[in-house]
């Protein structure tokens, strides 16, 4: 005999059996209703229904007896055991609600808009969803806000909006890149020219909040035309109370933020792009704070989109950090960039160490390319140069050394002999800030005669720009290691070593290193002016000059600097990686102490 009790306080909605009926295990006996929800009460084993203790519409308390099931005595009359209650949902397509969802979601896919996709491909460009699929690990992207449409229901039909404004022109979600979670947002240029609608602003704000709370990196595909004036469903005048731009900027220094652009990126889209840590753009891109309509509306002339912020301009002025041929390379570069913030690589390949011995020419006056040294120090295939078109007096790159991500900087003797000008200082100081914010140790390869000087140089606000290096270095919380390849002169060399040779975790030099408070030639001419001028111009004066210069060079040699402990060691160039690996293993990243730098510029 089974006593069937009510599992909760409820109202008896309906009996599905009558006294005397036989039931099988799993059959529904009665339906109870509580909080507007129906609860099925089932038989646990076969039986014959006895007295019903409550009627439909009556209230029952938890634990009250509802019905008694008597044993079935006639085996011939006993029903077969009921099939087990299914634990999995029925096959897809059987339920009308699921079918409705699948039909609706189909309109968000590229396949639903073949003409728009074909037009995009004819321009040599990919769709937003294609870029996301290429960026994220297979089947890892989870989309947020896919069912959104433009806020234009007062002027367009629901069917029109569904078919032509999928996701309100912006695809957002979370996917894995190299196995780690990343927030991805991509403006869809095939939908209303990738403009910023009210609902895609809401989607953006939602994803930015998720990224901030969960410390997730953000990738923004920023192509688009800025604000959209046609969204009439929301009562706004200017829309300047949006939180999107402040929320996006708030991520700065908290999580890596990467912008990617192909095609046109103007106005609001460009403002978000400009907030990114690093910008990757194709050679066919145009980036500007105002597109043609805004420029013309301001009475500034009529221009084609291709005339505003072309890539060669934006790469040369430092807006674009990584310039690539197409979106395929852009997405590859994005995956590469993000990898530097995803921990130490388990596998890596060291370049031939002996090659470093031949980087610096034996002729101390002969220029060379310090990028060769960077390549010889970094793990093979790991080097990613940043801002290659701007501030060319200093090279900046992300790299790995023995699998560990680092920031790598080097003076460029091919430009101004390695002297540091305003643009190079700006580039280097900002690179230090990037590494500092995201806990990347910094390795600096030094070969500089110092800061650039002269009337024309001072007209560029050199005093303020180059001092940025000192302030940025003084606020570093990450290990800093410097290797002097050749020239280490004056304030410029001090700036390249954190403000002074003993401000680093280690300052070492190759045997080719030479040091002085200023350039050796200038030091001789200034320090020994009387002695030189005492001799007539000609061979005798030149001979004295060369003699004094040789003395200065010997006094400022790397070995003598190490003898007086002004640097930590002179090393065989082939041992550079070993020194750096040991240093990186020894250094610690300090917690942020709350001290904020006031930028000198």
At 165-197, the pLDDT tens digits run 999 999 999 999 999 999 999 999 999 999 999
Please determine, looking at this structure, whether the domain spanning 2-70 carries the CATH number 3.40.50.880. no
DSSP 218-286: EEEE--B-SB-TT--SS--SS-TT-SHHHHHHHTTTTS-EEEEE-SEEEHHHHHHHHTSSEEEEETT-E
Has residue 91 got a pLDDT over 80? no
Has residue 80 got a pLDDT over 80? no
DSSP 494: H
Question: How many other C-beta atoms lie within 10 A of the C-beta of residue 597?
Answer: 13
- Distance in angstroms (rounded) separating the CA atoms of residues 244 and 257: 15
- Distance in angstroms (rounded) separating the CA atoms of residues 195 and 167: 12
Q: What is the pLDDT of residue 86?
A: 45
- Topology of domain 353-513+557-586, CATH: 2-enoyl-CoA Hydratase; Chain A, domain 1 (3.90.226)
Which percentage of the chain shows pLDDT scores above 90?
80
Q: What is the pLDDT of residue 242?
A: 85
Mean pLDDT, the chain, integer: 92
Q: What is the pLDDT of residue 215?
A: 97
Distances (CA, A) of 365 to 2, 130, 401, 499: 101, 51, 30, 26
Q: What is the pLDDT of residue 373?
A: 98
Nearest Cα to Cα of residue 307 among 324, 290, 338, 286:
286
Has residue 85 got a pLDDT over 80? no
Residue 93 — very low, low, confident or very high, per pLDDT cuts 50/70/90? Answer: low
Nearest Cα to Cα of residue 485 among 469, 506, 508:
508
- Which residues are within 8 A (CB) of 370 and not within 5 positions of it... i.e. 6 or more apart? 359, 395, 410, 411, 412, 413, 445, 447, 485
Q: Give the mean pLDDT of 248-259.
A: 96
Has residue 114 got a pLDDT over 90? yes
Predicted TM-score of the model (pTM): 0.87
Residue 315 — very low, low, confident or very high, per pLDDT cuts 50/70/90? Answer: very high
Q: Give the mean pLDDT of 30-51.
A: 94
Has residue 79 got a pLDDT over 80? no
CATH superfamily of the 97-339 domain = 2-enoyl-CoA Hydratase; Chain A, domain 1 (3.90.226.10)
- Distance in angstroms (rounded) separating the CA atoms of residues 513 and 447: 8
Range list for CATH 3.90.226.10 in the chain:
97-339, 353-513+557-586
- Which residues are within 8 A (CB) of 246 and not within 5 positions of it... i.e. 6 or more apart? none
Q: What is the pLDDT of residue 536?
A: 87
> Where is average pLDDT lowest: 199-208, 504-513, 588-597?
588-597
Q: Give the mean pLDDT of 266-288.
A: 97
Q: Give the mean pLDDT of 557-571.
A: 95
Q: Of all helices (H) and strands (E), which one includes residue 507?
A: strand 506-509
Has residue 81 got a pLDDT over 60? no
Has residue 272 got a pLDDT over 80? yes
Q: What is the pLDDT of residue 82?
A: 43
Nearest Cα to Cα of residue 308 among 328, 324, 285:
285
DSSP 325-392: SSHHHHHHHHHHHHHTTS---S---PPPGGGGGGSS-SSTT----HHHHHHHHSPTT--EEE-TTS-T
Range list for CATH 2.40.50.100 in the chain:
2-70
Q: What is the pLDDT of residue 92?
A: 53
Has residue 87 got a pLDDT over 60? no
Q: Give the mean pLDDT of 240-252.
A: 91
Q: Give the mean pLDDT of 577-586.
A: 95
Residue 526 — very low, low, confident or very high, per pLDDT cuts 50/70/90? Answer: confident
DSSP 44: S
Q: Give the mean pLDDT of 85-101.
A: 67
Can you read off the two tokens belonging to residue 494?
Answer: 């001090």
């Amino acid at each position: 005999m089974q006593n069937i009790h009510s599992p909760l306080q409820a109202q008896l909605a309906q009996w599905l059996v009558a006294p005397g009926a036989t039931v099988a295990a799993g059959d529904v006996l009665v339906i109870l209703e509580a909080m507007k929800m129906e609860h099925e009460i089932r038989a646990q084993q076969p039986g014959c229904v006895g007295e019903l203790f409550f009627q439909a519409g009556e209230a029952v308390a938890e634990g009250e007896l509802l019905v008694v099931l008597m044993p079935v005595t006639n085996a011939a009359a006993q029903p077969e055991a009921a099939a087990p209650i299914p634990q999995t949902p029925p096959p897809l397509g059987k339920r009308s609600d699921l079918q409705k969802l699948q039909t609706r979601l189909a309109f968000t896919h590229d396949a639903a808009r073949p003409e728009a996709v074909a037009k995009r491909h004819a321009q040599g460009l990919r769709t937003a969803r294609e870029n996301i699929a290429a960026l994220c690990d297979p089947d890892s992207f989870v989309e947020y806000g896919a069912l959104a449409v433009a806020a234009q229901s007062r002027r367009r039909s629901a069917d029109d909006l569904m078919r032509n404004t999928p996701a309100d022109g912006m695809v957002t979600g979370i996917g894995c890149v190299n196995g780690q979670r990343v927030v991805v947002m991509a403006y869809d240029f095939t939908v209303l020219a990738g403009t910023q609608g009210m609902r895609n602003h809401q989607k953006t704000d939602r994803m930015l909040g998720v990224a901030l709370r969960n410390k997730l990196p953000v990738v923004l595909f920023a192509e688009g035309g800025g604000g959209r004036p046609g969204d009439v469903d929301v009562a706004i005048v200017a829309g300047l109370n949006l939180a999107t731009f402040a929320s996006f900027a708030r991520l700065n220094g908290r999580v890596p933020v990467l912008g990617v652009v192909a095609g046109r990126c103007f106005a609001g889209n460009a403002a978000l792009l400009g907030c990114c840590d690093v910008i990757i753009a194709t050679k066919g891109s145009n980036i500007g704070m105002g597109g043609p309509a805004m420029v013309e509306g301001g009475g500034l002339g009529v221009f084609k989109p291709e005339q505003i912020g072309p890539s060669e301009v934006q790469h040369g002025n430092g807006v674009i950090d990584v310039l690539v041929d197409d979106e395929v390379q852009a997405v590859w570069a994005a995956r590469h960039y993000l990898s530097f913030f995803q921990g130490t690589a388990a596998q890596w390949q060291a370049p031939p160490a002996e090659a470093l011995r031949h980087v610096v020419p034996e002729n101390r006056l002969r220029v060379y390319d310090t990028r060769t040294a960077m390549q010889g120090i970094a793990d093979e295939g790991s080097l990613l140069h940043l801002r290659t078109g701007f501030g060319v007096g200093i090279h900046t790159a992300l790299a790995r050394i023995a699998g560990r991500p680092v920031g790598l900087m080097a003076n460029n003797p091919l430009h101004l002999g390695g002297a540091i000008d305003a643009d190079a200082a700006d580039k280097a100081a900002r690179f230090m800030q990037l590494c500092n914010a995201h806990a990347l140790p910094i390795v600096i390869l030094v070969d500089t005669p110092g800061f650039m000087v002269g009337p024309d140089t001072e007209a560029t606000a050199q005093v303020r720009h180059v001092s940025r290096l000192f302030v940025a270095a003084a606020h570093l919380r990450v290990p800093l290691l410097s290797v002097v390849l050749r020239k280490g002169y004056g304030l410029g060399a001090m700036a390249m070593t954190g403000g002074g040779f003993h401000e680093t975790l280690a300052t070492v030099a190759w045997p080719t290193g030479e040091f002085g408070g200023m350039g050796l030639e200038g030091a001789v001419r200034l320090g020994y002016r009387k002695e030189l001028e005492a001799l007539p111009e000609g061979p005798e004066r030149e001979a004295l000059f060369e003699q004094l210069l040789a003395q200065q060079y010997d006094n400022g040699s790397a070995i003598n600097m190490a003898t007086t402990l002004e640097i930590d060691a002179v090393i065989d160039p082939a041992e550079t990686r070993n020194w750096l690996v040991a240093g990186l293993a020894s250094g610690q990243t300090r917690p942020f102490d709350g001290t904020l730098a006031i930028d000198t510029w």
